[in-house]
Structure 1
């Protein structure tokens, strides 16, 4: 995965690779916005689009609508995806998941250098024209095509590097999905720029559902690891076709050296951050494979899958939308600060309860979802769930720094944290999977404190103000976790699904009540994102109930 990983991870699994490709092209939490765009290019300098051709209205209303559409897509994809993984883990072994996880760490390098940050530039630019769009498309297509050919030729070398001979065939077939991503980066960026979140949500849902059906059918047919590879190819292929149809744009035979230089000036800074993250990912994968083998990597990939699912079903939909908002309000320091603090509080409040459920019910939840034989993934999932709450801000901060045109500062941070992460992994692997996961919690804590200081300087607020949303949610997590553990202990004789359901329900209720009284402005911000029929009654509850304790600052 490019950029600083929102959740510390060692692998990039099939579904995550699919979404990473989309995030890069969309300029989401991975690519974010950039600083002020350059002027129109030479030649055809007509602005190609405004930012909202499908409607009008203020940024807040469009952003809220986008969050709801993307959230609906995430829930659909994650419920169906979790069911798919539950089936596949009963048909395939950890070695096969590990193979695809290893292959998936190689593919993003093609996205990185073929895109060169151009999609991020298009998302944030004040204006884009046909020459600039075509310049980005032809560069990405040509460079991406050459790199795909290189991947076909050097697959044996990469397989030797990972000590996985079966990786050769997997890498070569996965090149098909990589090609789909390369040729759709500009259409994706245009849809993102226009805030066409409804179209993006429908497109992603259709592609994911079709891919999951293909994966299950081919796995039942005994195709083994190829079921996972075909899932990725189908997802990327369907998504590419729909993106070209709905973006309503076709490249012209235009290429401008001046536009290329203008886009590459920022793009190279994006690449700098992403290269560091890519090297870290490779180093971590090599360390795990060398010490624990493909089986260990497979256990890690399943633990990460669970964390990814829970994260995406909570606040992940907010983050790509927030990135666009940061780029559009960057001219006003007050609006930027208020938008960031509100998005941070809402993200923490939304993610914390589901991560708490994973941490509390992990020993029951993992076997329930993935079957027997995956118990080594339990402590990893529990540790990563705690780390995910800590590092949630990294996704938002990444987009924030790019949105205000400060990728250099993020690069310095990325280098320091990635070096620390690799060193911690190399040291902790002697204690196996649990040691690695616990090491990530330590790194996440250090990275979070550093980001508080960096973000505080950027938005013109004391570090304690940036840290306050986390302090509030930490108390909420502690209260809901204690309640959840009490319920889990008293229901351990019941069927697993009942135990998880009751525990999750209690955690959710306690968390909502705690947020209402300890983080009232965050509770109000969450309610304000809901559709009108629900928003009115809930706002009356949020706005009139007494507030005996306050652990946040009204932003």
Structure 2
């Protein structure tokens, strides 16, 4: 099958139906994959020690930093382009092979330097093995972009499920047999290798790389701009571990990094799959001359309706949740989780802003917010690290709101959306969560200590969920009905509300643990 545009949009389905089907496969498969990963993660965390996660976090600073430069943005240019032929696909393939080959070599060269920086020789060995990840990226990035351009996510869903199962099984088996931190290293390698094979077959990637890059100026410009954005995103998302790695002990770094991983699960795992659908959907809407403002407004409200109660509930119940789920040796990360969870709804809104710029070809705005994020977060972490893990938490409290204000100031005028409408849309989940805080806080004071953490967690969780749902149903019943209707039937609007949730996943661990 040739991969030309003439064959990409012949499906008899309407645009809305295609988006809805794509969203169902991409997000639904991610949900199932996460249940697989969570089950494995909980068991692996109980088998390993915080120091294992500390070593892993040290290596991930470099792996994640280089991963963001892996040329995926060149593949994304195929989604945004008006027309794509076999030559353009071959050129992207060549760029991906060159870029990831250089990144693998760079990681091998940096391994001993990074180990010396942290004073941990084991980190060098971890980095050398993890360089294998870059060899598989061209065979995942290119097929993903080709399928996403056509809004075909069924194959990606299957690949997600199989690779998650392979990675989770690998991590659990190695942790069980005493491989320690290496369980966290080999699992993502196994997962991405399986995903590369499945995705290449699904996209029928029978194309040779074209190293003659004449005529690829727009592709390179678009991909280069996004890669530059990712460079600043690296500074924003990795500077806390990089700075703290020389100040904290391995144990303390393990607690902080795992707390951060836990609080980033929703924004890092469930919003990016929606982004995968949103970017091509937004691009197609823009090409059709449609305003993105109404979709962004509804998207933000839908995202906040889901993530805000999850994060505020986690902040309220972190001591019991950590003890029950992770065990007593991890209770030291409970206050870190509580503090980080408070600010994560703001990060969720931050993430959904990016496709309004990238899908319309205005990468400059995305670059500006990326630079601002790098300055705000790195500066805040540099000051906060002097006060330990809670200092880093407070750095999040300062940097995240300031970055969101800056991002909205750039984004909203571009999509003709007044700030007042955005505030009104955000009011229901915010006010319902304030009611939840009051009820859960009062109930905690009334509960006797002797009932134990399991019963306390169950009672607080039930009371919080009931308060939030009841508040929405009594005060904003139309929002509840619209949300239910969106799930149960195909909406008349061409873009489902939840489909417009994009952007960089941030610091998320591969589905390995």
TM-score of the superposed pair, with normalisation by structure 2:
0.88
Corresponding residue number in structure 1 for 2:130:
174
Structure 1 gaps, min length 5: 1-44, 536-555
Could you say if the C-alpha distance between residues 206 and 258 of structure 1 is closer, same or farther in structure 2, counting changes exceeding 3 Å? same
Are the aligned partners of 1:314 and 1:350 in contact in 2 as well (CA < 8 Å)?
no
Residues 426-464 of structure 1: per-residue CA shift (max 9 Å, x gap)? 111222111211220222122222223222211112222
Could you say if the C-alpha distance between residues 368 and 454 of structure 1 is closer, same or farther in structure 2, counting changes exceeding 3 Å? same
The structural deviation recorded for 1:523 is 3.3
Corresponding residue number in structure 1 for 2:484:
527
Are the aligned partners of 1:141 and 1:182 in contact in 2 as well (CA < 8 Å)?
yes
Structure 1 CA distance, aligned partners of 2:372 and 2:269? 30
Q: Name which of 316, 319, 332 aligns with 2:275.
A: 319
Structure 2 CA distance, aligned partners of 1:333 and 1:512? 37
Could you say if the C-alpha distance between residues 248 and 268 of structure 1 is closer, same or farther in structure 2, counting changes exceeding 3 Å? same
Are the aligned partners of 1:78 and 1:309 in contact in 2 as well (CA < 8 Å)?
no
Could you say if the C-alpha distance between residues 51 and 434 of structure 1 is closer, same or farther in structure 2, counting changes exceeding 3 Å? farther
Q: Name which of 464, 480, 499 aligns with 2:456.
A: 499
Could you say if the C-alpha distance between residues 333 and 493 of structure 1 is closer, same or farther in structure 2, counting changes exceeding 3 Å? farther
Are the aligned partners of 1:516 and 1:523 in contact in 2 as well (CA < 8 Å)?
yes
Corresponding residue number in structure 2 for 1:262:
218
Are the aligned partners of 1:480 and 1:507 in contact in 2 as well (CA < 8 Å)?
yes
Structure 2 CA distance, aligned partners of 1:463 and 1:86? 41
Are the aligned partners of 1:326 and 1:403 in contact in 2 as well (CA < 8 Å)?
yes
SS class of match (2:395): helix
Corresponding residue number in structure 1 for 2:402:
446
The structural deviation recorded for 1:493 is 4.0
Structure 1 CA distance, aligned partners of 2:366 and 2:98? 29
Corresponding residue number in structure 1 for 2:510:
none
1:54-133 alignment, distance < 5 Å:
55-115=11-71, 117-133=73-89
Corresponding residue number in structure 2 for 1:194:
150
TM-score of the superposed pair, with normalisation by structure 1:
0.82
Corresponding residue number in structure 1 for 2:260:
304
Give me the CA root mean square deviation. Answer: 2.6
Could you say if the C-alpha distance between residues 129 and 442 of structure 1 is closer, same or farther in structure 2, counting changes exceeding 3 Å? same
Is 2:318 aligned against 1:362?
yes
Q: Name which of 467, 488, 497 aligns with 1:510.
A: 467
Structure 1 CA distance, aligned partners of 2:66 and 2:265? 25
The structural deviation recorded for 1:208 is 0.9
SS class of match (1:375): helix
Corresponding residue number in structure 1 for 2:344:
388
Q: Give the aligned length.
A: 490
Are the aligned partners of 2:68 and 2:234 in contact in 1 as well (CA < 8 Å)?
no
Residues 456-509 of structure 1: per-residue CA shift (max 9 Å, x gap)? 211112222233333332112111222233444455544533432333233223
Are the aligned partners of 2:72 and 2:141 in contact in 1 as well (CA < 8 Å)?
no
Q: Name which of 242, 246, 250 aligns with 1:290.
A: 246
Are the aligned partners of 2:100 and 2:137 in contact in 1 as well (CA < 8 Å)?
no
Q: Name which of 269, 281, 284 aligns with 1:328.
A: 284
The worse-fitting range, judged by mean Cα deviation, of 109-118 and 403-412 is 109-118
Structure 2 gaps, min length 5: 492-513
Are the aligned partners of 1:210 and 1:235 in contact in 2 as well (CA < 8 Å)?
yes
Are the aligned partners of 1:110 and 1:144 in contact in 2 as well (CA < 8 Å)?
no
